Amino acid sequence: MSASNNSSMVQTIHARPEIGLKKFDIHHQETEFEFKEYMAVKAKRVHEALEEAVPLRHPLKIHESMRYSLLAGGKRVRPILCIAACELVGGDETVALPLACATEMIHTMSLIHDDLPCMDNDDLRRGKPTNHKAFGEDVAVLAGDALLSLAFEHIAARTIDVPQDRVVRAIAELGSAVGSEGLVGGQIVDIASEGQWVDFSVLEYIHLHKTAKLLEASVVCGAIVGGGQVSDVERLRKYARCIGLLFQVVDDILDVTKSTQELGKTAGKDLVSSKATYPKLMGLDKAREFAEELGEQAIDELKCFDAAKAAPLHCFANYIAHRQN
């Protein structure tokens, strides 16, 4: 999808910016859903499961470092998406929880490595000193490696009451999302593009791989272990790709509109580092319009599902479009 042809695919479902009790309309059905409460409950479950998955044990230093970043209080977007997709296709939360935790472990490790001096050289993440600032570069690299390895071990060892073929499909999906044609691919093109003029197709490649792939895999894996039919899984893939791209477009907008304190990470650094971003390529107003369109397009992919069951994913699209940090 590109910014230029995107508007033709946009439907006229109007996202509301406020988070909390929402009324929305799919198939002319009015439904009410407490999104804020849903997020809080799921985030708490995920946090407890992560805490249990990485106990403080020997060797102490590495587990301290892993826990420092993993339990630093991120928004838990990927794990909650994973659980919501599983529940949408009729699966139980417990079935998706190990996978959900794995997506957060991978996300956290990618941020630890992204912040390293050899990458973005950042000092602040989730309102705290970055992992290498707190533990040193050597420990931070290893903490990232250990989290990546643990993510796959955790899925294989902890996913219970799910047919094995579904677990294997989910592992393959997640593995491809983080590798050289996924997150790593997006990051390498991002690094190579720094200081260069890039067009929309390169920028879209970076965002779709660096950010959207893991969000997509979180949703798709949740739907797979929840027992979703192939057609539903693929529809949810399209939904997730839109919100994945949306997530990064909003990230680019926040970088130039919010303060370091509001973001909990260094603001304005895309400008300083001469990174390509949507606001730079299309201007702030057009980037905002594009974000709005992506949110609406994502919601459109949910039309064929039961409105009440799709409520969490529907609200998620609004939440990502209008998040403030």
Closest by CA to 85, choosing from 241, 312, 299, is 312
Both tokens of 202, joined, read: 């390169």
Under 8 Å between Cβ of 208 and 245: yes
CB atoms within 10 A of CB 72: 15
For ligand FPP, give the closer residue by CB, 120 or 301. Answer: 120
Under 8 Å between Cβ of 325 and 47: no
Task: Give the residue carrying structure tokens 């009410």.
Answer: 32
Contact region with Mg ion (CB under 5 A), list: 61-69, 117-125, 151-159, 184-192 = 117-125
Q: Interface with ligand FPP includes 210 (CB under 6 A)?
A: yes
Which residues, 6 or more positions from 236, have their beta carbon under 8 angstroms from its beta carbon?
Answer: 85, 88, 89, 219, 220, 223, 228, 301, 313
Q: Which of 108, 110, 130, 297 binds ligand FPP (CB under 6 A)?
A: 110
- To the nearest whole angstrom, how small is the minimum distance from the Cβ of residue 64 to ligand FPP? 21
Q: Interface with ligand FPP includes 211 (CB under 6 A)?
A: yes
* Continuous segment of H or E residues that includes residue 223: helix 213-225
Q: Which of 1, 10, 124, 184 binds ligand FPP (CB under 6 A)?
A: 184
Q: Which of 70, 174, 178, 246 binds ligand FPP (CB under 6 A)?
A: 178
For ligand FPP, give the closer residue by CB, 108 or 159. Answer: 108
- The whole-angstrom separation of Cα 86 and Cα 84 is 5
For Mg ion, give the closer residue by CB, 36 or 269. Answer: 269
Q: How many residues form the binding site for Mg ion (CB under 5 A)? A: 2
Interaction with ligand FPP in 140-169: which residues (CB under 6 A)?
A: 148
Which of the choices Mg ion, ligand FPP, none does residue 183 contact, using the CB cut-off of 5 to 8 A by kind? Answer: ligand FPP
Task: Give the residue carrying structure tokens 């990051």.
Answer: 187
Which of the choices ligand FPP, Mg ion, none does residue 110 contact, using the CB cut-off of 5 to 8 A by kind? Answer: ligand FPP
For ligand FPP, give the closer residue by CB, 7 or 260. Answer: 260
Q: Which of 87, 93, 104, 114 binds Mg ion (CB under 5 A)?
A: 114
- The whole-angstrom separation of Cα 104 and Cα 96 is 13
Which residues, 6 or more positions from 318, have their beta carbon under 8 angstroms from its beta carbon?
Answer: 15, 16, 17, 19, 22, 295, 299
* Burial degree of 44 (CB within 10 A; 0-12, 13-18, 19+): exposed
Q: Which of 66, 167, 183, 310 binds ligand FPP (CB under 6 A)?
A: 183
- The whole-angstrom separation of Cα 150 and Cα 131 is 18
For ligand FPP, give the closer residue by CB, 79 or 91. Answer: 79
Q: Interface with ligand FPP includes 113 (CB under 6 A)?
A: yes
Q: Which residues pair with 129 in a beta bridge?
A: 124
Q: Interface with Mg ion includes 120 (CB under 5 A)?
A: yes
Which of the choices ligand FPP, Mg ion, none does residue 151 contact, using the CB cut-off of 5 to 8 A by kind? Answer: none
Q: Which residues bind ligand FPP (CB under 6 A)?
A: 106, 110, 113-114, 119-120, 148, 178, 183-184, 187, 210-211, 265
Q: Which residues bind Mg ion (CB under 5 A)?
A: 114, 120
